[in-house]
Copies of this chain bind each other. A is one copy, B any other.
């Protein structure tokens, strides 16, 4: 019997299955420091305990995307080891901050299955939950991936396509307990723009670019214990290139968006996301944002912005799709999320 994990194939999933993902992880100031070393992350709430306390939190949490990566990384051996493509995200919510010292674990429920017409693969939808050591859910999201079948002869399951929201409504968002932006220090945060300064339809060029290196994306991806081979093993492809984990691009683009969205402090919702084209070492990542929607929240001084964050490797700013409706080749990421910002 081979003792290594071959990963699951399409026929190994059934709707309703709940998978306990392995290797819980305790995070600390070490993960925070590495996040700052790997990404140009400057949102003050995640940089300073004092700033976070002035906003009603007990300390500076681990970056929301770091929490996402830890939760996501655990699912890779069970969900995407034999994936042909990562197709989408929906209904992602951050429900509680993750603090240094917390231990995270993940579970995924299979909520949809649909075999492809070629009979060789199918789409699997999972709803993943990350929990802390108190059994509280810290975040949840749905993603769907295209997975190979081990044996094309196995009969197709009855298709189940989950009914997913195209985007979370403002009422679906959870504002962390105690969050209060009424005394927010804009000078320390780095920009003066507040909720009311952003108009739906407005686009922001985040200006800066970062050329990415093999050592960095591998360190980042390992930090989240995501061990998908394509990110690490240069012998897998003829051109010797390693595919960069899509989450690395998400974090890089989000960090770059500080320049223009310094006050969009906390990510609370992930509506949708597409990894439009692959990213490789040597690519220079840039980002722009389109403001999609504004909403109020019940928390003092706290508003919400729905934002489309686009990462590119060059190309004309603010271009996304060609005439054929497909993403242009320079587009890396198209992410639709909700962030909290002072009113």
The residues of A with any CB-CB pair to B shorter than 8 Å are: 2-5, 20, 22-34, 36-40, 42, 44, 47-51, 60, 77, 100-101, 103, 105, 133, 187-191, 193, 197, 204-211, 213-216, 218-220, 222-223, 225, 227, 229, 232-236, 242, 259-262, 282, 284, 314
Contacts and interface: CB of A to CB of B under 8 A. Distances in A.
A276 to B, nearest CB: 20
Number of copies: 3
B36 A33 contact: no
Given A3-B261, A47-B26, A34 B37 contact: yes
Nearest to A39: B222
Contacts of A284: 233-235
A26 B49 contact: yes
A96 to B, nearest CB: 17
A125 to B, nearest CB: 22
A48 B23 CA distance: 7
Contacts of A206: 4
10 contacts: A24-B48, A25-B47, A25-B48, A28-B28, A30-B33, A209-B232, A210-B232, A213-B214, A215-B215, A235-B314
B205 A24 contact: no
A36 B4 CA distance: 20
Contact of A50 (B133, B205, B211, B235): B133
A262 B215 CA distance: 25
A24 B218 CA distance: 28
A262 to B, nearest CB: 7
Given A24-B48, A48-B26, A229-B208, A3 B218 contact: no
A134 to B, nearest CB: 10
Given A4-B206, A20-B187, A26 B50 contact: yes
Contact of A22 (B23, B133, B188): B188
Contacts of A218: 210, 213, 216
A170 to B, nearest CB: 22
A312 B166 CA distance: 48
Contacts of A225: 36, 40, 42, 47
A259 B223 CA distance: 17
Contacts of A193: 3
